[in-house]
Structure 1
């Protein structure tokens, strides 16, 4: 499961605005956020646990998600926002947006529930059993309320909010942040609202724009599926002791796609099977040279080359250095 880097961008900006020691947090995590294209990343979902655990340790705040909410910039949602604006009603726009939720996160589950109890949006940000992920879900619920307020011209007003977690700060603080009464220890987080709002007519409804926005959303979802396919191929390669026997037909069988279809999907993704294998070999060779004392003859074998001379030529072409030169430079760092 992966999350869009746009969410990390929102949290990053909120921490800066709140005056937190962001440099200390990122130093502990071991990366430089300023050097990362946060919005363009797809981040492994389980990394959120370490992120929030480290953030709690740095700030000493066990209710950090709640305290970041007032500092968070509005999550615009891009194509999902466009779909909701160009739909005839809020209810139809919400249904369309939920179809493309995977553009935001593979882990996030949002449902519209209408039953005898009333109308609500149910939210589960993660299936992982990690208490630190309460911060993600609190921030997600807060941003959903703000986002829907924008697409309904501020007609959306939550009647009450329920959270899956225990209360850690004063009740009045939760009520003030969410603008309504908040309850805790629910089976899932919930945003209750007047069902009449589902019929709210969007002042920006445009059937032609709606068609274009649906096509754009479908294209982005297809692109995401292709990126996932590339990751699945890389995972298959990483499980092989010898890359020499990783031909397209065998890998296609493992990922459950016909070889011809696999070639087509990779072409649409702007790559090829041979390019993925070459990139993987290069990355594996760099890692083995820089981080281990593995003999180069063994690295030749592990990266799937039949002859050392072929490996040397390929590595020189990739890096501009011989394997010996690369190891000397990077092992010293």
Structure 2
């Protein structure tokens, strides 16, 4: 069945283009090279295919030779990059409230991202997961999101705030200076997820720009926009639920329908309207997550099988061979053979 592709807002894509320009690249020219109309960047309501954004990052790294180029996003802060959500953020009472709004309206910025704001006894943790579409999300997209989130905190407070920790799911790069200069905190590589941890006092401190009346007005605008946007995007919402439920075992369609507050029959009909089915969506989600997990060297094949909801690892091996024609172990070996080993990686 046809695949319902994920998209990124043109406002966020414009921020990426501006970040690439800091490294001397012509982002609009790269879009042309990828077959994307750069004129879309001037239309705040336009959407750009997520896979095209992935290819943009890949081409940018190739041309610049800088795998940390995503960190440039910290230097291009503008509320408009968040579309209508940016104005709601500006009027938030605290950074905690602002992050909660980003989580709530994230799909307007980019459908490929899952965000969660975790509350811990000593901190708040913003956990990020960018799933990509047919192509696995590049490390640079995570770097960009984390860099932008931190820079926005600093812009909102007018202070050079430091996270408690920054976690990255990929192995430590050979050169860490750009990460150390930007984040200024302990860096953890090879982590289970991408996240930034902030002190509770920092997140709960009132902001000078906070305005509850304006925040509610902007919330209404963002909610209306989100309602129009999501009217035909049940596929994306169901995929997000699957990503959350898969580590607990293969999700039943009844559980997904319940999470989306609709009947199983309604879910089936809405997915059919978007040219897919529950089984096809489950298969696609497992397929793309498998590629991302195989890129994380600290995960064993057994762990990946369980993260994908397979009770029997042999079912994962059979499914992977059906998807890609080779066993997952062989696929990982080929991918690792193409990627140079970073310094001291073999010691971890």
TM bin, normalised by shorter chain, reads: 0.5 to 0.7
Residue by residue over 1:27-72, the C-alpha shift from the partner in whole angstroms, topping out at 9 and shown as x without a partner, is 5313452575364321222333322233333334444324x34653
2:88 and 2:126 map into 1 onto residues whose CA distance is 18
Q: Is the 8 A contact 2:167 2:191 kept in 1?
A: yes
2:298 maps to what in 1? none
2:56 maps to what in 1? 51
**How do 1:1-333 and structure 2 match up within 5 A?**
1-22=6-27, 25-33=30-38, 36-37=41-42, 39-66=44-71, 68-69=72-73, 71-74=75-78, 76=80, 77-115=82-120, 118-126=123-131, 133-154=138-159, 156-226=161-231, 228=233, 255=270
CA 1:188 to 1:256, structure 2 compared with 1: closer, same or farther past 3 Å?
Answer: closer
Q: Is the 8 A contact 2:20 2:69 kept in 1?
A: no
Number of equivalenced pairs = 236
Residue by residue over 1:56-107, the C-alpha shift from the partner in whole angstroms, topping out at 9 and shown as x without a partner, is 33334444324x3465344542533332333333323332332111111122
Cα deviation for residue 254 of structure 1 reads 5.0
1:71 and 1:204 map into 2 onto residues whose CA distance is 21
TM value normalised by structure 1 = 0.60
CA RMSD, 1 decimal: 3.3
1:89 and 1:23 map into 2 onto residues whose CA distance is 36
CA 1:256 to 1:119, structure 2 compared with 1: closer, same or farther past 3 Å?
Answer: closer
1:205 and 1:114 map into 2 onto residues whose CA distance is 21
CA 1:130 to 1:177, structure 2 compared with 1: closer, same or farther past 3 Å?
Answer: farther
Where does the alignment leave 5 or more consecutive residues of structure 1 unmatched?
230-252, 259-333
Q: Is the 8 A contact 1:123 1:190 kept in 2?
A: yes
Specify the SS of the correspondent of 1:112: strand
Q: Which has the higher contact order (CA 8 A, sep 6+)?
A: 2
CA 1:102 to 1:169, structure 2 compared with 1: closer, same or farther past 3 Å?
Answer: same
Structure whose alpha-carbon radius of gyration is higher = 1
Cα deviation for residue 217 of structure 1 reads 1.1
Q: Is the 8 A contact 1:52 1:132 kept in 2?
A: no
Cα deviation for residue 213 of structure 1 reads 1.4
Specify the SS of the correspondent of 2:206: coil
Q: Is the 8 A contact 1:159 1:193 kept in 2?
A: yes
1:35 and 1:101 map into 2 onto residues whose CA distance is 20
Specify the SS of the correspondent of 1:190: strand
Specify the SS of the correspondent of 2:138: helix
2:113 and 2:101 map into 1 onto residues whose CA distance is 16
Q: Is the 8 A contact 1:13 1:73 kept in 2?
A: no
Residue by residue over 1:184-243, the C-alpha shift from the partner in whole angstroms, topping out at 9 and shown as x without a partner, is 1111111111111232112233332222112111111122124659xxxxxxxxxxxxxx
Specify the SS of the correspondent of 1:170: coil
1:51 and 1:71 map into 2 onto residues whose CA distance is 19
CA 1:36 to 1:136, structure 2 compared with 1: closer, same or farther past 3 Å?
Answer: same
2:188 and 2:135 map into 1 onto residues whose CA distance is 20
Cα deviation for residue 11 of structure 1 reads 1.3
1:64 and 1:13 map into 2 onto residues whose CA distance is 12
TM value normalised by structure 2 = 0.58
Moved over 6 A (4+): none
